[in-house]
Chain A
């Protein structure tokens, strides 16, 4: 646990130095596409809270100066499968984003969807030494959380302190300075497969990039596509990607649960490809241009030309109606949404005060998806687009980029995590001088 603590602290340090330098890249490594945004930080802007829009989630601090996206290679279910291929894809996208920005970038903040994220709720309780809560008490209570057995070969990706309770008062966001006797805290722990993280880190290292942060793409997508009220009152963000569908549940501006399905838009394309005996590229194109999930009478008359190059003239000149296409796509989309419903039910989403569900991600652009999702997930479903940030090209404002933009927001001002607080001295190894200083600071 201490190793991880150090690694994450090192990443935070890296992030700080990157922002001091002014340029940092965010990289959304997905199953079907890799997006890279290059952000320039110009220092904090003057407070514009009086203007319409209020405090804009910190995105006024930075500006997107370069953006590029490319087809992902060697990725499967959000995890690196063929390392060389992924490395090439990352090189491609970073180089073209650098060219777009006219500037080289050394630090990168990455997110990944795969690796089977699992959420844990942790509880810790500690008696205060003093009557008021200080920074060190928070570190102590975070360290006092009993860590469940996360299993071998898994790493902690996020550890957010979600809620603090002081004596019998709960729901405190920031208990520092308040007085009480007993401090308790709830922490949300997200673990993913170590091998997946290692694979991605290795690819980034091979591209000469310094990793300044890692995030789950479910978390990033939620940051970008949920509005502030939804994050406060409780909402779920469904990021429908190519190979995975990620779920994140937010309450009181903290992610309290995340999950991921190994199903996504690629499976719809694959179904079309199999059902109509088409090349996958053609199937993808037909899905993008003509796809849908709600058939109407009009769709019987709308005929779609299927092209192919099998050499069989009859076969390459087939035509199908849009209804047929919808008939292939709909069961798969329904299956994905049913699965999401199951995961949300298992996580206890019903008990949240807010029941908003936001669909985002590239696969959420299927026409008619909101109607279908409302039937399966409940009435309060909307399609979400990411927050608008400065300098973002129009082509990168679609829902497919919500994870990348959320990652940019994450880079600009990350929420406090466990490793942002100084560890209590008991957890620290050796370094006697620093221990002495720490002891003095704690006791005087």
Chain B
């Protein structure tokens, strides 16, 4: 045996690693080719199955002995020198993953498993802890108490308190009744005031056409009311009502003289035809001072009542035109000045007048017919 030369680490070739690049081999010698080439001075046996780069400078004799054993195990060229080489290589780490490591790796690469571990695990843990902690009823009650305290403390801060109720646009009587109807115990937190409900409550008043409820800065609950404008007085058997231009009730009226400026209407169902009544009254302005009122007949047509107990019976259809016709007659011939009780316009083709009751009717009819411009 020769003495060992310089340390064998000098010319140590690199370990083969899995990866790209030209495949490098540092494994055992391949025994499949019979050793025909020049036999090395070191080896007397056929090609050594010992790994070429010995990992550590083991005693040469031991390596040779292992090689000889391995060679004896391996038949000429058939059996692989794997076992022998592994034994000789000793503690060299196998780069291959073990079977279990490989399976675990694959399991970890399974998306469902990965999601379950990463998300499901922590969530389950937190839920478990919470469930255990909240299992006690006292703790739950305490937690709820804390929540309620915090909420009320926040809602009752002075910034959120409402101190005054301001009503604008309403008459004093209406304002008082609105105040009574809302029935707020001020001061109270603005979180406890239901603005929508308050608005509905205010709009429920007959006299209120439209209302807006809002919380103004400075702790004020502002109610802006638009009142209905009374347009006519409606006489019913049990009293007088004020109606607006659309026929909606505004208020009761104690006496007709209180609103003598408004025209009077009467009859059942009159409130549903207020716009028409207003239109007729506007058209009848030429005889305005004589008008006493409009009476709804049978909930379908109007009678225009004048003083001296005169009545103009208007048709259900197109009363305005009929009224214009009557007024034109009046203008031309002074119809309403005459001694008649009623002008019946219900049949548009035939206007009928009724004389006041009295003697000598026929003579008066002749006198009427003989007036200039009248047709027989």
Q: Is the CB of A310 within 8 A of B18?
A: no
B18 touches A68 (CB 8 A): yes
- Contact of A71 with B25 in the complex, beta carbons under 8 Å: yes
Contact B106 A280 (CB under 8 A): no
Residues on B with C-beta less than 8 A from A222 are none
Task: Say yes or no: B110 contacts A307, CB within 8 Å.
Answer: no
Q: CB of A313 within 8 A of chain B?
A: yes
Given A280-B52, A308-B11, A71:B37 Cβ within 8 A? no
When A74-B80, A270-B30, A307-B11 are in contact, do A104 and B106 touch as well, CB less than 8 Å? yes
Which of A82, A310, A316 counts the most B-chain CB atoms under 10 A from its CB? A310
For chain B, residues 14 to 70, give those with C-beta under 8 angstroms from any C-beta of chain A. 16, 18-27, 29-30, 32-33, 35-38, 40, 42, 52-54
The prevalent SS among residues of B at the interface is loop
From B11, B20, B53, B97, contact of A95 by CB (8 A): B97
Determine the chain A residues whose CB is within 8 A of the CB of B20 once the complex forms. 69, 393, 395-396
A103 CB-CB contact with B under 8 Å: yes
Does any Cβ of A come within 8 Å of B8's Cβ? Answer: yes
Contact A69 B53, CB 8 Å, known A33-B23, A81-B80, A307-B13: no
Most buried by A among B24, B40, B103: B24
Please tell me if A274 contacts chain B, counting CB pairs below 8 Å: yes
Bound-state Cα–Cα, A73 to B8, Å: 26
A312 to B10, CA, bound (A): 12
The answer to whether A280 touches B5 (Cβ under 8 A) is no
Residues of chain A from 65 to 80 with CB closer than 8 A to chain B in the complex: 68-74, 76-77
Q: How far is the CA of A280 from the CA of B29 in the complex (A)?
A: 7
A93 at the interface (CB under 8 A from B): yes
Instruction: A318 to B102: give the CA distance in the assembly, Å.
Output: 44
Collect the chain A residues with CB atoms within 8 Å of residue B54's CB.
309
Question: Does A96 reach chain B (CB closer than 8 Å)?
Answer: yes
For B35, the closest partner residue in chain A by CB is A274
| A285 in the interface (beta carbon within 8 A) | yes
Query: A32-B25, A74-B82, A280-B52 given as contacts; is B16 within 8 A of A313 (CB)?
Result: no
* Complex Cα gap A309–B106 (Å): 40
Cβ-defined contact, B19 with A70, below 8 A: yes
A92's closest neighbor in chain B, by CB? Answer: B96
Distance in angstroms between the alpha carbons of A311 and B12 in the assembled complex: 11
Number of interface residues of B (CB under 8 A): 47
- The answer to whether A98 touches B53, judged by C-beta atoms less than 8 angstroms apart, is no
Does A362 touch B at the CB level, under 8 Å? yes
A77 to chain B, nearest CB (A): 8
Whether the Cβ atoms of B106 and A282 lie closer than 8 Å is no
Does residue A180 face the partner (Cβ distance < 8 Å to B)? no
Let me know if A288 and B102 touch, CB within 8 A. no
Chain A 260-287 residues near chain B, CB threshold 8 A: 266-267, 269-271, 273-275, 277, 279-282, 284-285
- Quick check: is B2 within 8 A (CB to CB) of the other chain? yes
Is A89 a contact of B96 with CB atoms below 8 Å? yes
Contacts of B36 in A (CB 8 A): 274
B10 touches A88 (CB 8 A): no
Write the chain B residue with the least CB distance to A89.
B96
Q: Is the CB of A98 within 8 A of B30?
A: no
Instruction: Given A103-B109, A280-B29, A307-B13, decide whether A93 and B24 contact each other with a Cβ distance below 8 A.
Output: no
A71-B23 contact in complex given A82-B80, A274-B38, C-beta closer than 8 Å = yes
Q: Which residues of B contact A92 (CB under 8 A)?
A: 18, 95-97
Closest 7 CB pairs of A and B: A274-B37, A279-B52, A88-B96, A70-B18, A307-B11, A395-B20, A104-B109
Residues of B within 8 A of A (CB): 2, 4-6, 8-13, 16, 18-27, 29-30, 32-33, 35-38, 40, 42, 52-54, 80, 82, 94-97, 99, 102-103, 105-106, 109-110
Binding site for B on A (CB under 8 A): 32-33, 68-74, 76-77, 81-82, 84-85, 88-89, 91-96, 98-99, 102-104, 206-208, 242, 266-267, 269-271, 273-275, 277, 279-282, 284-285, 288, 307-313, 316, 362, 393, 395-396, 400
